[in-house]
């Protein structure tokens, strides 16, 4: 007798997750209630009952304040509200794939679309899905869909959204979809059949097609096990549908001895039942690939040790951890703090249920039946190799600054902590290093001590190399008149120093403003971005003179563009001199009103008729473009006004 066991036989990760949660929570809470059967397997329900998991078919059967586990098949949305109203602690073991369907139908129904569900009407999963939407219709076969179409129950213009029970037969689903697409012009299809179901059914087809006898193990209430039986029955002459080893008749065991046997099991069938069937068939049975069947099944009961590197499947992401299926009897969790050292890390952007994840075992609790994992330790193991290579090859490493301490800052790169001394942060002594926190920085690795797990880096070294390369490029191409965008680095009493991309240049105070200023801080501040141009070069001594004020902003040019001799302007008296008064025509351009031009009569001093800050009308009587001087006359403006009055 040769025996070939389907690799997909037994618990899927959604069912294993529910069972693990039931065991774990029952141990923590000294017994819990399950609302509905956790899974469709009577034997497993009995085993869990012995561990303190009591099954309640109605919410009224659950005491107020009890801890309640929601079954893997899911429940209607209203059940959560009802349980919370009783003060119950709700522990949700709904399969992640089923929960996804709940979200889909809730959103689609809210958008005014009619929900069509393809599945078994009375199946708990379908009942649960219906409880998350309004106005749903359930079809079990393509024939039912066709009948509804023929009867006009599906109007062509009705917006319809279609989902499937996760364990439904794909061929029947595809036939139904074809009919719906022809009937409904506004139809959205959501393929929600579980991949594990597809794989299980596909493997059953292959196995049944080459076996003399197929043995299908699972509870008679299990929908997915029934599908496996139907598939096997259509391809294999003899199919045995059993719930446990006791249902395998003695006569059949003797007849099977000369045949090729195929074995598959439903997603709700625990490994210990499959193992019992195997042991009763033969003590010497070998799987086709040469592995001992009992040994393979024993894998699901294997224990792990601290430090073991494992690969598992993400089954749920919660506010506190990531739950992982490792294919063992223990429930495995990665606390959020063990995912990454990066404070900006968002697990929901990196993983989703069904994804594979690598981790290291950090704690095994046999008493609670849990395994604590760490992903960041795997990253650290890989990261050390990357960090060491970066040091050897002098390549730049990018990391995120996560801490500040007295000596400097700490970055995380490839899961490894890198200390960057204050002197190597690139931050001036008078500025806080805290400005680097949560930012990404590039640095070189300057020191590694694997034994002490110490890594030292330098941001400053990267900056210096970058500045040196930029400076060389600038000195090769810089010319008088060339414009740059720079950053003000420091201020002195005589000017401002500006970094123009690796090289510093100076703007003399006289080049900062067309007006009079006492200090550069009146115009610019440290850190300001400024547009400058080169007005002088000394390549031998590496000195650059920069200009900041623009010709188009020159007050004299503005004055010349708007005023001419004989024009009358409103001017403001600025100061007095023995020979007259200075007045501002526009900001930056002053004119002299000679004492003889202040009044139409003789005065000894300007302040006899004028005051500082006073605004008066004055005529421009002369413009000296070479010396940039303007002569004004209040008397001429007054006489001009009188002449105008006489003409009127």
Q: Catalytic amino acids?
A: 125
CA distance 459 to 413: 13
CA distance 430 to 217: 74
One DSSP character per residue, 587-628 reads TTEEEEEEGGGT-SS--SSGGGT--TT-EEEEEEEEEETTTT
The secondary structure element, H or E, covering residue 175 is helix 170-183
One DSSP character per residue, 41-87 reads -HHHHHHHHHTTEEEESSGGGSPTT-EEEEPTT---HHHHHHHHHTT
CA distance 636 to 648: 18
The secondary structure element, H or E, covering residue 386 is helix 376-393
CA distance 208 to 285: 19
Biggest CA–CA distance in the chain, Å, is 143
Ordered alpha helix ranges (H), 394-480 = 459-477
Token pair for 635: 């008397």
CA distance 413 to 398: 6
The secondary structure element, H or E, covering residue 458 is strand 454-458
The secondary structure element, H or E, covering residue 381 is helix 376-393
Our measurement of the distance from residue 455's CA atom to the centroid of its chain's CA atoms, rounded to an integer in Å, reads: 28
Ordered alpha helix ranges (H), 458-574 = 459-477, 555-562
CA distance 30 to 67: 10
Beta strands per DSSP E along 378-450: 397-405, 408-413, 416-421, 440-449
Supply the Cα-derived Rg of the chain in whole angstroms. 42
What lies within 8 Å, CB to CB, of 388 at 6+ separation is 448, 450
Token pair for 427: 């931050």
Give which of 265, 267, 313, 312 is closest to 293, Cα–Cα. Answer: 265
Instruction: Give the three-state DSSP class for 310.
Output: strand
Give which of 53, 50, 49 is closest to 66, Cα–Cα. Answer: 53
Instruction: Give the three-state DSSP class for 347.
Output: helix
Q: At what angle do helices 96-110 and 13-29 cross, to 10 degrees?
A: 100
**The residue to which tokens 């690139």 are assigned:** 426
What lies within 8 Å, CB to CB, of 152 at 6+ separation is none
One DSSP character per residue, 40-53 reads S-HHHHHHHHHTTE
């Amino acid at each position: 007798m040769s025996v070939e066991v389907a690799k997909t036989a037994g618990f899927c990760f959604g069912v294993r997750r529910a069972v693990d949660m039931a065991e774990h929570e029952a141990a923590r809470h000294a017994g819990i209630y399950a609302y509905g059967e956790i899974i469709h397997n009577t034997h497993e329900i009995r085993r869990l009952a012995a561990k303190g998991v009591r099954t309640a078919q109605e919410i009224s059967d659950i005491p107020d304040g009890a801890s309640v586990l929601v079954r893997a098949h899911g429940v209607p949305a209203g059940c959560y509200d009802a349980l919370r109203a009783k003060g119950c602690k709700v522990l949700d073991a709904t399969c992640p794939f089923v929960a996804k369907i709940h979200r889909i139908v809730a959103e689609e129904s809210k958008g005014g679309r009619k929900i069509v569900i393809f599945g078994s009407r009375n199946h708990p999963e379908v009942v649960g899905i219906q409880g998350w939407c309004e106005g749903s219709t359930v079809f079990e076969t393509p024939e039912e869909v066709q009948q509804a179409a023929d009867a006009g129950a599906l109007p062509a213009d009705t917006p319809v959204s279609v989902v499937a029970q996760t364990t439904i037969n794909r061929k029947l689903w595809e036939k139904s979809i074809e009919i719906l697409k022809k009937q409904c012009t506004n139809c959205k299809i959501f393929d929600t059949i579980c991949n594990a179901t597809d794989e299980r059914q596909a493997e059953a087809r292959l196995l049944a097609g080459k076996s003399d006898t197929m043995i299908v193990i699972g509870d008679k209430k299990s929908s997915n096990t029934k599908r496996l039986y139907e598939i096997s029955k259509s391809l294999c002459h003899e199919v045995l549908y059993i719930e446990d080893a006791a249902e395998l008749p003695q006569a059949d065991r003797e007849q099977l001895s000369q045949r090729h046997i195929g074995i598959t099991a439903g997603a709700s069938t625990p490994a210990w039942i499959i193992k019992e069937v195997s042991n009763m068939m033969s003590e010497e049975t070998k799987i086709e690939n040469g592995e001992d069947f009992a040994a393979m099944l024993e894998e699901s009961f294997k224990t792990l040790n601290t430090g073991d590197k494992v690969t598992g499947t993400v089954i749920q992401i919660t506010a506190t951890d990531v739950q992982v299926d490792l294919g063992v009897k223990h429930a495995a969790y990665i606390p959020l703090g063990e995912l990454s050292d990066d404070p900006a890390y968002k697990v929901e952007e990196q993983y989703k249920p069904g994804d594979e994840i690598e981790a290291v075992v950090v704690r095994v609790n046999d008493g609670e039946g849990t395994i604590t994992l760490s992903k960041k330790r795997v990253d650290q193991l890989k990261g050390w190799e990357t960090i060491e290579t970066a040091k050897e090859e002098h390549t730049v490493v990018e990391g995120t600054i996560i801490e500040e301490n007295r000596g400097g800052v700490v970055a995380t790169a490839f899961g490894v902590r890198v200390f960057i001394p204050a002197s190597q942060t690139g931050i001036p002594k008078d500025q806080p290093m805290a400005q680097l926190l949560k930012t990404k920085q590039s640095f070189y690795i300057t020191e590694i001590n694997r034994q002490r797990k110490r890594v030292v880096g330098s941001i400053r070294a990267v900056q210096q190399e970058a500045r040196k390369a930029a400076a060389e490029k600038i000195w090769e191409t810089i010319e008088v008149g060339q414009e740059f965008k720079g950053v003000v680095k420091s201020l002195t009493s005589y000017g401002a120093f500006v970094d123009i991309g690796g090289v510093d240049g100076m703007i003399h105070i006289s080049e900062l403003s067309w007006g009079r200023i006492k200090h550069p801080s009146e115009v610019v501040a440290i850190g300001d971005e400024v547009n400058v141009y080169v007005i002088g070069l000394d390549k031998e001594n590496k000195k650059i003179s920069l200009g900041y004020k623009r010709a188009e902003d020159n007050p004299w040019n503005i004055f010349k563009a708007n005023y001419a001799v004989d024009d009358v302007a409103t001017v403001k008296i600025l100061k007095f001199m023995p020979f007259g008064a200075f007045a501002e025509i526009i900001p930056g351009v002053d004119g002299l009103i000679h004492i003889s031009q202040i009044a139409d009569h003789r005065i000894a001093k300007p302040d006899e008729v004028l005051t500082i800050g006073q605004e008066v009308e004055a005529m421009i009587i002369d413009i000296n473009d070479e010396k940039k001087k303007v002569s004004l006359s209040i008397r001429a403006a007054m006489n001009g006004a009188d002449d105008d009055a006489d003409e009127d």
